[in-house]
Chains A and B, each alone.
Chain A
Amino acid sequence: MPGLGSAALVVAFGLVLYAALAGGYAAYRGRRRLLDSATNALYASFASVLLAALVLLAALARHDFTFSYVASHTSHELPLGYTLASFWSGQEGSLLLWLLVLTGIGSAAVALNRRLIRTVLPWTVPILGAIASFFALLLVFVASPFATQVAPADGAGMNPSLQNPYMLAHPPLLYLGYVGLTIPFAFAMGALASGRADERWIIATRRWTLASWTFLGFAILLGAKWAYEEVGWGGWYAWDPVENAALMPWLVATAYLHSVMVQEKKNMLRVWNAVLVAGAFCLSLFGTFLTRSGVINSIHSFTQSSIGAWFLGFIAVVAGASTALILYRLPLLRSRTRLESLISREAAFLYNNLFLVAFALTVLWGVIYPLVSEAVRGVAVTVGAPYYDFFGIAFGLPLVLLMGIGPLIAWRRASLRALGRSLLWPAGTAVIVGILLLLGGAGSSPAGLVGYTFASFVLAAIVLEFVRGTRARHALGDGSWFASFTSLVGRNRRRYGGYVVHAAIVLLLVGAVGIGGFGTTREAKLAQGQSLQVGDYTLTYLGSQQERAANSQELRARLAVSRGGDDLGTVLAGKNRYFAEQQTSNEVAIRSDWLRAEDLFVIADQFNPDGSVFVKALVNPLVNLIWLAGLLFVAGSLITLWPDAREQRRLARRFAEEGALARA
């Protein structure tokens, strides 16, 4: 069986290498039949990688400990779901998942745009092949998931912290996001290499980019939810390098999604978009590198991982080749139109881009700063949360403001007077909300107060847009108000789906500001019967209990919760001791109150021999909005992604016209 897996990977390596080399030759010399052959090799490589993946899955399901990978990531006691999920809990399996997703969606994107690629963008196929070759090379020669050993009696098991449903879903979604960014990259570079700098590659990849960006964003939030429940320090995002690794490509992809609309509508920002798409892809590689190489957490042991240097080399090659290609095609990328006014929709998009990219670069700087400072000054210096918080606020607040202004401002050239008129209602709402919050005592966190004022400004602007659009449709006699509303959204999916995503970001902001600016923390050592006051809650320690579960011993502290004299029941917080893994895992108690929109978060930090327990308790206001924002984010993305026949026809017409113009 391991032989079959290895063989399938070798075959896949050969196929993607052929797709890269033969495809490159075919694109260079304009040989269509050879290009078809390279394309078919790409499709076949997916089947071959899929076979390898199935071999590994089967080995996991059978607990075949002759596979080193299976033995070091699972055990007999591990439940089946987690056993199968061990596929992506180690380095080799993760790489295999990368290659599987890459060949899968690469083949699908090529198959769906086959005519476009044959005639206009032949270089896309060899570029996809070359990227896949790198991962196949690693899997065959450096980090094979099919290494064998003499089977031990039992495996090492899975890290208890990873035994959480959110961790089942987080890595594959994250990889879908990372790998998905390969598609716009390959098409963009394919367009440049093929000398076709028109907007067709953008149209072809719009949904792929959006979908990858959605997966990436949702995966980041799932990871945050996991950290909130399982790591259990009371927060949801800690600016850890591993978290930042996913945030950076998401920020750059967000910038790209916005600026690409300007290129689609106005033919502007072409160089900038090519740079962004290459940047997003490089950052997604860098993200994989960060999480997999261990370079940042343990900066002194660079050789620890077998793939770190390979990844750095590959990122350098990708960055260098993209830069060279963009410079080489610079004359082709010159815009036909220019920015007419600094007060216009185009300019608003540009500002949004500058802030997003500046933020991403700030985060990148913070992540690599230990390496930079060690090289320059001899001492590695890490920057902590204050650095990221400061720039998050400095760049985040203007971005939020732009989110409210951008959709209301006219294309090309807007007058300040007209802009002022359309902003009157949202700004008025924001001022009123701000004053009310100040009177309500929200002034304790100035940044939080500003954040909430801006958030209400954006929300009011979004609601206003929906109301105006629905009223206009209703006035056209489109039946009931509800029918007017649905037809409004249905006919302008990209626009109104985008507004829903904006609303989700505002919700996220409200939640993040709530937990960051207005939370309460208390801690105390409690003997049986003693109480701890946190916020409006009183926690009384009732005693401890022990239970034996399938693969762990569960120790819990029982605490009675009351608020203002009302008994709210008990919560259990404690620790699990896992046998196979010989490790403890903190199990926090979270009591969500949806009406008050706050969480009571209880950590039983230490059980003392004298029967007392050390408890840390937090009240996290509005944290639930963060998770709600994740669902709304996906809903908004789905609206924009939904196929739209009208739009397809319009685009087809547009390119038919442009083609005619170009020929004339």
Chain B
Amino acid sequence: MARRRSPARLVIALSVAAALAIFLVYTALAGGTPSLRPSQVAGHDGRVSVAGKVVGQPSGAARSPDGLRFTIRDVEGSATLPVVYRGSVPDLFRTGRDVSVEGSLRNGVFVADKLVTKCPSKYTNKPA
């Protein structure tokens, strides 16, 4: 008798799992921010995140109305993107580092309000 009951439970469990899976896929597709390379940003109007390498000397200050200005380049490539950032600057930010910025493109300049550098445990500091 106990044997006859268990398939029903299996079905219930499987359907719950399936419902959850569909739900997960749905929410993950609807939410989330596209992560792009600098070369892919053109044409995206909405909020995106862009990962690239900082090139050239950053100028300005992040906690001022004009913001911190710098340029990022495809990690493996040559396309560049000018960025204006306002907010806290992470410790590891500097020229040559891989960063990810979040914001949107306005008149050819990427206006960012979030700046993340890669996890410090992966860095090997090169002697200057």
Partner-B contacts on A (CB < 8 A): 72-73, 89-90, 152, 154-162, 171, 231, 233, 240, 242, 291-292, 294, 297-301, 338-340, 354, 358, 362, 365-366, 369-370, 373, 379-384, 386-387, 390, 525, 580-586, 603, 605-606, 608, 614, 616
Query: On chain B, which size bracket covers the interface?
Result: 35 or more
The one of A301, A338, A525, A583 that contacts B2, using a Cβ cutoff of 8 Å: A338
B81 at the A interface (CB under 8 A): no
Residue among A155, A233, A387 having the largest count of chain B Cβ atoms under 10 Å: A387
18 sample A-B contacts, Cβ–Cβ < 8 Å, listed by A number: A72-B124, A72-B125, A156-B124, A233-B88, A291-B121, A298-B118, A338-B3, A338-B6, A381-B35, A383-B31, A387-B27, A387-B28, A581-B125, A583-B92, A603-B88, A605-B88, A608-B63, A616-B88
Does B127 lie within 8 Å of A154, measured CB to CB? yes
Nearest A-chain residue to B74, judged by Cβ: A300
Most chain A CB atoms below 10 A, which of B40, B63, B94: B63
> Which residues on A sit within 8 Å (CB–CB) of B61?
606, 608
Q: Is the CB of B76 closer than 8 A to any CB of chain A?
A: yes
Q: Mark B108-126, 1 if CB is under 8 A from A, else 0.
A: 0000000000111111111
> Separation in Å of the B80 CB from the closest CB of chain A?
15
Are the CB atoms of B34 and A155 closer together than 8 Å?
A: no
B28 touching A366, Cβ below 8 Å? yes
Q: By the criterion CB–CB under 8 Å, are B127 and A155 in contact?
A: yes
Among A156, A161, A370, A381, the residue within 8 A (CB) of B120 is A161
Contact (Cβ within 8 A) A381 B33: yes
Contacting residues, chain A, for B64 (C-beta < 8 A): 606, 608
Q: How far is the CB of A18 from chain B (nearest CB, A)?
A: 34
B16 to chain A: closest residue by CB = A354
Which residues on A sit within 8 Å (CB–CB) of B63? Answer: 525, 605-606, 608, 614
CB within 8 Å for A300 and B27 given contacts A291-B119, A384-B33: no
Q: In the complex the two chains form, is B121's CB within 8 Å of A369's CB? A: no
Looking at the complex, which one of B3, B49, B51, B120 makes contact with A159 (CB distance below 8 Å)?
Answer: B120
Residues of B within 8 Å of A157, CB to CB, are 125
Docked-complex contact A300 and B32, CB < 8 angstroms:
no
Task: Judge whether B98 and A240 touch: CB under 8 Å.
Answer: no
Nearest Cβ on chain B to A89's Cβ, whole angstroms: 7
The answer to the question of B55 belonging to the interface, with a C-beta cut-off of 8 Å to chain A, is no
Query: Given the interface contacts A381-B32, A386-B31, does A156 sit within 8 Å of B88 by beta carbon?
Result: no
**B71 in the interface, Cβ–Cβ < 8 Å?**
no
- Inter-chain CB contacts under 8 Å: number: 128
Out of B20, B28, B40, name the residue touching A369 (CB < 8 Å): B28
Report how far A369 CA is from B35 CA in the complex, Å: 11
Which B residue sits closest to A338, measured CB to CB?
B2
Q: Which of A299, A339, A583 contacts B91 (CB 8 A)?
A: A583
Q: Closest 7 A-B residue pairs measured CB to CB? A: A614-B63, A156-B125, A606-B63, A381-B32, A383-B32, A338-B2, A161-B120
B11 CB–A CB distance under 8 Å: no
Query: How many whole Å from A447's CB to the nearest CB in chain B?
Result: 17
The residue on A at minimum CB distance from B61 is: A606
Which residue in chain B gives the minimum CB-CB distance to A523? B63
Q: How long is the Cα–Cα vector from A365 to B29 in the complex, in angstroms? A: 12
Rounded to whole angstroms, the CA-CA distance of A387 and B25 in the bound complex is 12
Chain B residues closer than 8 Å to A380, beta-carbon distance: 34-36
A90:B32 contact, CB within 8 angstroms: no
**What chain B residues lie within 8 Å of A585 (beta carbons)?**
91
Output the least CB separation between B103 and chain A (Å): 14
Residues of chain B contacted by A386 (CB below 8 angstroms): 31
A60 to chain B, nearest CB (A): 15
Closest beta carbon of chain A to B118's beta carbon, Å? 5
Q: Which residues of B contact A370 (CB under 8 A)?
A: 35
**B37 proximal to A (CB < 8 A):** yes
CB distance from B18 to the nearest CB of A (A): 12
In the bound complex, how far is the Cα of B91 from the Cα of A422, in angstroms?
53
Q: At the interface, yes or no: B128 with Cβ under 8 Å from chain A?
A: yes
Measured in the bound complex, the distance between the Cα atoms of B93 and A231 in whole Å is 13
B-chain residues with CB within 8 Å of residue A580 when the two chains form the complex: 125
Chain B contacts with A in 66-100, Cβ cutoff 8 A: 75-76, 88-89, 91-92, 94, 98, 100
B66 CB → nearest A CB, Å:
12
Q: Known contacts being A381-B33, A390-B27, A605-B63, is A159 close to B75, with CB within 8 Å?
A: no
Residues of A within 8 A of B49 (CB): 382
Known: A298-B51, A300-B76, A605-B63. A384 touches B32 (CB 8 A): yes
B106 at the interface (CB under 8 A from A): no
Q: Is the CB of A162 within 8 A of B120?
A: yes
Closest CB in chain A relative to B17 CB, distance in Å: 8
Inter-chain contacts of A384 with B (CB < 8 A): 31-33
Q: Given the complex of chains A and B, what is the CA–CA distance between A370 and B128 in angstroms?
A: 34
Chain B residues with Cβ below 8 Å from A162 are: 120-121
A382 touching B91 in the complex, CB below 8 Å, given contacts A72-B125, A340-B2 = no
